[in-house]
A and B are shown apart, each in its own frame.
Chain A
């Protein structure tokens, strides 16, 4: 058995050449899960038997020259907020799980593309948090430092990819829940344009802001996962190649740069410098009303989350994590007037981001304002000022849930504390594939930074 491939692309190439057995690859991932999950708690449910059966079928198909594409025989994981037929959807909670009879469409599409689902990953309870230390299945630990959070809410999905337990993960993102753990762990995570990937079969948090998206080690790996989640099939010829020629990028200032830890600021400036040195044009831009984002987000997200949970709170209030329960109770008090005010403000923010993007390929900003925080932390100090942990972690990401623009977080280096830091690129609405092409080009310039898990474009 050769050394396990480092990326989805490498694994896919070996499988296509029939130089790597999907069964052996799946078994290697399951062995990795068995040896590491007790400590890291990335998985809630491991689907070993089904995964090996699916891998054996993939192997037979490939041997008979019925190769489906780059995801054929590749082990992937699914956040346990997403329905898989015959497997409970726990949502990371002690509240009785959903027991779905059908796969969520995003899961069906991955299966149709030949992916092997190895299990369901741990998450912040009901996706309602950024640290994944409120979960009925034990806090997810960051492999870079297991006293640290892996972010959230899709922490298990991020850790599963980082730690070699699978080659791609399905996450969800309502305020940053793909991009935050991607940044905290040093992998890549994409929030597509709102509505692009169906959220049917996914436990909702806030229907106006919920997105489903892929997480993987590199932009190319993420792009092929996205393609399969979009179209139920994948092909290297249709993965967008890295954008050619000079890029036009805009850095939004003010709100997005005001509160960053020292290493985030340093590595972001370093990434900006590397891109400018490579010939790309980077300008400073302004997003009007950006500072209103947290208030708009709360006015909409809180009541939408509470609406879904109202029947569950009647019977199972004591089953929720205390913090999640309190936030749900809080949301039930938001008046319709304020919710509608938030929805109007959302339309203003959408136009603000559209205007900021005019003439640009993408916006460039830090992906997460801080390093992965210690497990259990409720606040963080940023340049001498104490901030609540949730608002600090949501600051860079939540605006693009409000507006629905596609956004991708990618590693840009390692801080002096040994923890990864990330940048984020934001693209035009409806142009997620163009954003992936831009991201692939950017990755070439910054992927050489220390701590870049992908080790380069590929």
Chain B
């Protein structure tokens, strides 16, 4: 899992436990997997910034 969602999850779990909501933890873990899956689909789903990755790869290949 990318560092940023991992950090998000850690913070969310800590908050859930501090508020006495341990039952929230598995839901947050499931949500994190879902959000990561959607992030991983950025290129597949045509994220408008995806062309930046493609352009950088082409430039590297040219060198």
Q: Give A contacts to B, CB under 8 Å.
A: 289, 292, 294-296, 298-299, 302, 322, 326-327, 329-330, 333-335, 338, 341-342, 344-345, 348
For residues 12 through 63 of chain B, which have their beta carbon under 8 Å from a beta carbon of chain A?
A: 12, 16, 21, 23-24, 27-28, 31, 34-35, 37-39, 41-42, 44-48
A341 contacts B47, C-beta separation under 8 Å: yes
Residues of A within 8 A of B23 (CB): 322, 326
Residues of A with C-beta under 8 A to B12:
333
Chain B: residues with CB nearer than 8 A to chain A? 8, 12, 16, 21, 23-24, 27-28, 31, 34-35, 37-39, 41-42, 44-48
**Taking CB as reference atom, which chain B residue is nearest A338?**
B35
Contact call B35/A299, Cβ cutoff below 8 A: yes
Question: What's the Cα separation between A277 and B14 when bound, in Å?
Answer: 60
Contact check: which of A296, A326, A329, A333 meets B38 at CB < 8 Å?
A: A296
Closest-by-CB residue of B relative to A289 is B45
Chain B proximity of A317: nearest CB distance (Å): 10
Q: Is the CB–CB distance between B24 and A329 below 8 Å?
A: yes
Of the candidates B21, B35, B39, B41, which one forms a contact with A326 in the assembled complex, judged by CB atoms under 8 Å apart? B21
22 contacts between A and B (CB under 8 A): A289-B44, A289-B45, A292-B37, A292-B45, A294-B34, A295-B35, A295-B41, A298-B35, A299-B34, A299-B35, A302-B31, A322-B23, A326-B24, A327-B27, A333-B12, A333-B31, A335-B8, A341-B42, A344-B46, A344-B48, A345-B38, A345-B41
Residues of A within 8 A of B27 (CB): 326-327, 330
CB distance from B26 to the nearest CB of A (A): 10
B residues within 8 A CB of A344? 45-48
**Cα-based distance from A299 to B37 in the complex (angstroms):** 11
Query: B61 → chain A, closest Cβ, in Å?
Result: 28
A298 to B37, CA, bound (A): 12
Q: Top 8 nearest A-B pairs by Cβ distance?
A: A295-B38, A295-B34, A330-B27, A345-B45, A333-B12, A338-B35, A348-B45, A295-B37
- The answer to whether B34 touches A298 (Cβ under 8 A) is yes
A296 CA / B8 CA spacing, docked (Å): 19
- Asked whether A348 lies within 8 Å of B35 as measured between CB atoms, the reply is no
In the bound complex, residues from chain A placing their C-beta under 8 Å from that of B21 are 326, 329
A147 to chain B, nearest CB (A): 26
Q: A341-B38, A345-B38, A345-B45 are in contact. List 8 more A-B contacts (CB 8 A).
A: A295-B41, A326-B23, A326-B27, A330-B24, A335-B8, A338-B39, A342-B38, A344-B48
Contacts of B37 in A (CB 8 A): 292, 295
Measured CB to CB, the nearest residue on chain B to A329 is: B24
Q: A289-B45, A294-B34, A322-B23 are in contact. Are A341 and B39 (CB under 8 A)?
A: yes
How far is it, in angstroms, between the C-alpha of A348 and the C-alpha of B41 when the chains are bound? 12
Question: Which chain B residue has the least Cβ–Cβ distance from A330?
Answer: B27
- Chain B residues with CB below 8 A from A333, complex form: 8, 12, 28, 31
CA gap between A333 and B35 in the complex, in Å: 11
The residue in chain B whose Cβ has the minimal distance to the Cβ of A339 is B35
In Å, the complex CA distance between A220 and B15 comes to: 52
Closest approach, in angstroms, between the C-beta of A321 and any C-beta of chain B? 12
Q: Across the interface, do B44 and A299 meet the contact criterion of CB distance under 8 Å? A: no
Give the distance in Å from the alpha carbon of A344 to the alpha carbon of B31 in the complex.
19
Q: Report Cα–Cα, A292/B41, bound state, in Å.
A: 9
Chain B's closest residue to A292 (CB) is B41
A329 to B22, CA, bound (A): 12
Question: Are B24 and A299 closer than 8 Å at their CB atoms?
Answer: no
* Residues on A with beta carbons closer than 8 Å to the beta carbon of B38: 292, 295-296, 299, 338, 341-342, 345
- The residues of A that contact B31 with a CB separation of less than 8 Å are 298, 302, 330, 333-334
Could you say which residues of chain A place their CB within 8 Å of the CB of B28? 330, 333
Q: By CB atoms of chain A within 10 A, which of B8, B23, B34 has the most?
A: B34
- Most-contacted residue by chain B among A330, A333, A335, A338 (CB, 10 A): A333
Q: Separation in Å of the A322 CB from the closest CB of chain B? A: 7
The CA of A179 and the CA of B28, in the complex, are separated in Å by: 28
Q: How far is the CB of B46 from chain A (nearest CB, A)?
A: 6
A330 cross-chain contacts in B, Cβ below 8 A: 24, 27-28, 31
Report A-chain residues with C-beta under 8 Å of the C-beta of B44.
289
Instruction: For A348, list chain B residues within 8 Å (CB).
Output: 45-46
Chain B residues, Cβ within 8 Å of A341: 38-39, 42, 47
Complex CA gap A25/B38 in Å reads 52
Residues in A neighbouring B39, C-beta threshold 8 A:
338, 341
